[in-house]
Amino acid sequence: MGFEKNLQKRIKRHVSGRVRDYFAVTAPGMENLCLRELLSLPLSVKEAVAEKGGVSFKGRLHDCCLANLYLRTAG
């Protein structure tokens, strides 16, 4: 029981709890639309910027997974 609790704490601290950099790839010319779509989702995304080829943003692993599921303009 104690091992599982410690493992869950480690996973949260080192994997899912950290804020990381992500990049959502999109078709050329769709970057601004993808950015607006990302910002409209209920995520705790920080520093989202439209760049050539997609949108870069900072967030937790949970935010990345939800963005992957719900962004229609990213591929």
Q: Please tell me the distance from the alpha carbon of residue 74 to that of residue 52, in angstroms, as a whole number.
A: 13
pLDDT tens digits for 8-66?
Answer: 777 677 666 789 999 999 999 999 999 999 999 999 899 999 999 999 999 999 899 99
Question: Furthest-apart CA pair in the chain: how many Å?
Answer: 52
Q: What is the pTM of this model?
A: 0.79
Give residue 56's pLDDT: 98
Task: Please report the beta strands in 1-75, taking only residues with DSSP state E, as ranges in sequence order.
Answer: 20-25, 46-51, 54-59
Give residue 1's pLDDT: 62
Half-sphere exposure of 38 (CA within 13 A, CB side): 32
